């Protein structure tokens, strides 16, 4: 299951940050492209399972999907590809090149204040 491996990697990176910041993580945002897509429900389930009994337990995971981009060869416009109507929205050309898909990235980790042991 791809999502379980992604969840494990996310938790490992977040735990490294927890160690450095001495703060409780409360949320994280990841993004991915159309071709690097994850199943939101499966990833959220795997994330919760891997986070259990760690400082990451109870975190909110947000997943943003970035559209596949293309560059129109005749006019040069960069646009989000609509698979149901694959053409440039400006000049209506179907002559375009697909750009590299957005990778799966951990964009942000949100923390509560530093854990100073006072309550």
Q: Which domains does the chain have, with CATH numbers?
A: 2-113 (3.30.2320.80)
pLDDT in tens, 66-115: 999 999 999 999 999 998 999 999 999 999 999 999 999 999 999 997 65
- Lowest-confidence pick of 2-6, 25-29, 57-61, 75-79: 2-6
Give the contacts of 67 (CB within 8 A, at least 6 positions apart).
33, 34, 80, 81
pLDDT band of residue 2 (cuts 50, 70, 90) is confident
């Amino acid at each position: 299951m791809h999502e379980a491996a992604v969840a494990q990697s996310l938790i490992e990176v977040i735990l490294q940050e927890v160690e450095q910041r001495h703060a409780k993580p409360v949320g994280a945002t990841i993004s991915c492209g159309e071709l690097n897509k994850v199943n939101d429900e499966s990833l959220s389930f795997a994330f919760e399972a891997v986070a259990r009994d760690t400082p990451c337990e109870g975190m909110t995971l947000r997943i943003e999907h970035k559209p596949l981009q293309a560059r129109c060869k005749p006019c040069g416009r960069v646009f989000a590809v609509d698979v149901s109507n694959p053409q440039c929205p400006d000049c209506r050309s179907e002559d375009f090149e697909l750009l590299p898909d957005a990778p799966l990235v951990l964009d942000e980790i949100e923390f509560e204040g530093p854990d100073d042991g006072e309550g």
